[in-house]
Structures are given as C-alpha cells and as structure tokens.
Amino acid sequence: MKTSTKLWIGLGILAVASPLGLYLPAKFKAGGAWGEWEGNELGHLVGFVPRGFRNLATLWHAPLPDYAFRGMQHAGLAHLSFAYIVSALIGAAVCVGAGFAAGKLLSRKNRQLVKKK
C-alpha cells in the first residue's frame, strides 16, 4: 500500500474519531477542550480574563462555532457527532488544499529559478 494511501486512511480515521471530543469530557466530567476557552470560561479557570484576550475576542468569529452548523449547537450528541465529522473533513480539505496550492506555487518558483541559471 502506498504511503499516501495510508495517510489518507489515517486522516479519515481521525475525522471519524473527532466526536470523541464530545463524549469523553462528558464521561470523565471534564471541561471543554484545552485551549478552546471563551472569555468567561477562561476567567473562571484562572480568575481573570487578560485585557488583550477581551479586546481581541470580537475580532474573529468561527465559521462553524462549536463545530456545529447554525441551529445545531443544542442538538443531541448524534447530530453534533455528524457535525464534528463534517467539520473535521472540511478542515482537513482546507489544509490539504492549502498544502497542494503552496506546493504548486513553490515548485513553479523553483522551476523558474532553475531555468534562469
């Protein structure tokens, strides 16, 4: 089996496993994912919200907040699991596409440099 095929299979497995982030915190009575805190949650965890965090909080709004589609934020775990998998596939597709685009761009520049010599 080719290495690229193994990588695609691994990426698919990770996408399908992404809903574990919904089930495991509930099972072990843990909080949200590390580093994905909102201002209120961060304030509760450390006792204050840094000024820069508060100032930048309105700068970025996620395209799929909480990895769910509009209106699904309060859906059952089965619907949220589907949304997590779709979000993982979209994110993976964006990353793979950006990687391919960067590779094409860099290889084109490299060919131009070789031709000039």
Domain boundaries along the sequence of the chain: 3-36+64-116
86-113 tens-digit pLDDT: 888 988 999 999 999 998 888 876 666 6
Residue among 88, 49, 98 at smallest CA distance from 68: 88
Alpha helices in the chain (DSSP H): 3-17, 20-27, 39-46, 51-56, 77-116
Supply the pLDDT for residue 117: 58
The pTM for the full model equals: 0.65
43-81 tens-digit pLDDT: 888 899 988 888 888 887 777 777 777 776 667 777 778
